[in-house]
């Protein structure tokens, strides 16, 4: 992997299994395997090109490489900033490469929605999803506890998906707009009266938003600092920014107990609550509140704009690096990790016996 002279890095992988190998950490479906092979080919032929970047939280170019592969078997240089402790992919691919990936491969590898050509969901009623989906419930609850919203509140959600959270906020009287790149999910939300647009922040002409929502999108941004500054320019003076991202501390306290299940090709940044606060501090936002979701796997945080000024960040490199290595060495005594591995290696035999969905049937009961 070619590197220029901009960065100082050490290669110190967590363990041998984090060396690059093109095997997924799970059993892909034929459709997933087809798209993964296509992505591998684009990387090998140079269609996707790598570029390095400084840490967005502290602007340091010093980092430690702890992994070379993600859970899909795709090359993914997972690094930890030795100045502040932010876990990130560095080098990463160009923004246009990720755009190509999202357009052609993302939904096929990360399939979590069934829609027909008209964007109508086949599995559940929209009202049911908006009021019962755990993630939406957690997000809505935090916003209701910490903000006063009425029919004058302007809300923008970037990467809104089907728009379930916007649907609930619009029912409370808020003026809501959402953006996403997936035409099917946009059509689905539009069919239920939401103002959803194909695109991103650059496609939003108006501004003065009182609340901007980024749910599981910040970790996908190649340049999060620029995105946050651009968002700030679209916000009112007292505007709030709500961010929901995966919590890398789920490695220690969550369902999977395995960093390999968290590291992903499309997750360019893996946040802890502190590293998220560091990034927002560097982007001139003050912290209001941070909570975990109902199963501790996600960070839900609310921030407010402040005048540009210098503010100290709190490094966590030493603590996080030691914790990751200690946990990696002791993973075989973690019950959740053993459970996942048993399911993984028994899949071919369970599939022959018609028990390939064993995990879906029993996971909730076991954990």
Identify the CA nearest to 88 among candidates 107, 111, 62, 114.
62
Confidence at 146, pLDDT banded by 50, 70, 90 = very high
> Poorest-confidence range of 34-43, 337-346, 353-362?
353-362
CA angle 78, 217, 265 (to 5 degrees): 30
CA within 13 Å, CB half, 148: 1
In angstroms, the CA 361 to CA 354 distance is 13
Q: Which two tokens stand for residue 169?
A: 């906020």
- Residues recorded for the chain: 367
Domain assignment present for residue 112? The answer is: no
Cα dist. 34→131, 231, 247, 264, 352 in Å? 35, 36, 29, 18, 22
Number of domain units in the chain: 1
Confidence at 111, pLDDT banded by 50, 70, 90 = low
Domain boundaries, position 147:
126-309
Q: What tens digit of pLDDT does each residue of 27-86 get?
A: 888 999 999 999 999 999 999 999 999 999 999 999 999 999 998 999 989 999 999 999
In angstroms, the CA 286 to CA 303 distance is 5
Domain assignment present for residue 286? The answer is: yes
pLDDT computed for residue 362 by the predictor: 40
Q: Is the pLDDT of residue 341 over 90?
A: no
pTM (predicted TM-score)? 0.84
**Sequence-ordered list of residues with C-beta below 8 angstroms from that of 73, at least 6 positions apart, any chain:** 21, 22, 23, 24, 25, 36
Give the chain's mean pLDDT: 84
Domain assignment present for residue 321? The answer is: no
Domain assignment present for residue 190? The answer is: yes
The DSSP output letter for 117 is T
Q: Is the pLDDT of residue 359 over 70?
A: no
pLDDT computed for residue 124 by the predictor: 56
In angstroms, the CA 40 to CA 343 distance is 26
Domain assignment present for residue 361? The answer is: no
pLDDT computed for residue 4 by the predictor: 45
Domain assignment present for residue 165? The answer is: yes
Domain assignment present for residue 183? The answer is: yes
Q: Residue 161's domain is classified under what CATH number?
A: 3.40.50.150
Domain assignment present for residue 364? The answer is: no
């Amino acid at each position: 992997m070619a590197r220029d002279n901009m960065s100082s890095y050490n290669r110190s992988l967590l363990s041998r299994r984090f060396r690059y190998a093109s095997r997924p950490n799970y059993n892909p479906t034929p459709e997933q395997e087809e798209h993964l092979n296509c992505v591998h080919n684009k990387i090998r032929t140079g269609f996707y090109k790598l570029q390095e970047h400084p840490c967005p939280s502290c602007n340091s170019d010093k980092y430690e490489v702890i992994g070379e592969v993600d859970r899909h078997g795709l090359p993914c240089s997972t690094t930890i900033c030795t100045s502040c402790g932010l876990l990130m992919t560095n080098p990463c691919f160009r923004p246009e490469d990720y755009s190509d990936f999202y357009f052609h491969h993302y939904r096929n590898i990360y399939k979590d929605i069934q829609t027909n050509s008209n964007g109508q969901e086949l599995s559940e009623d929209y009202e049911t999803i908006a009021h019962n989906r755990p993630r939406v419930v957690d997000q809505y609850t935090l916003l209701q506890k910490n903000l006063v919203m009425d029919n004058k509140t302007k809300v923008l959600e970037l990467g809104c998906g089907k728009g379930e959270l916007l649907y609930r906020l619009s029912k409370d009287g808020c003026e809501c707009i959402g953006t996403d790149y997936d035409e099917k999910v946009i059509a689905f939300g539009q069919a239920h009266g939401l103002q959803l647009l194909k695109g991103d922040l650059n496609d939003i002409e108006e501004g003065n938003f009182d609340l901007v929502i980024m749910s599981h999108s910040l970790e996908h941004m190649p340049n999060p600092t620029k995105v946050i500054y651009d968002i700030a320019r679209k916000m009112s003076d007292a505007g709030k920014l709500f961010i929901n991202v995966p919590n890398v501390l789920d490695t220690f306290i969550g369902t999977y107990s395995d960093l390999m299940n968290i590291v992903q090709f499309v997750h360019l940044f893996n946040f802890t609550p502190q590293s998220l606060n560091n990034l927002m501090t560097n982007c001139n936002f003050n912290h209001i509140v941070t909570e975990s979701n109902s199963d501790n796997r996600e960070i839900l945080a609310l921030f407010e704009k402040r005048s540009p000024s210098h503010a100290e960040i709190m490094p966590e490199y030493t603590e996080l690096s030691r914790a990751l290595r200690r946990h990696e060495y002791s993973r075989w005594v973690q019950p959740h990790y053993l459970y996942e591995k048993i399911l993984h290696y028994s899949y071919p035999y369970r599939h022959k016996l018609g028990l390939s969905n064993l995990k879906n049937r029993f996971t909730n009961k076991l954990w």
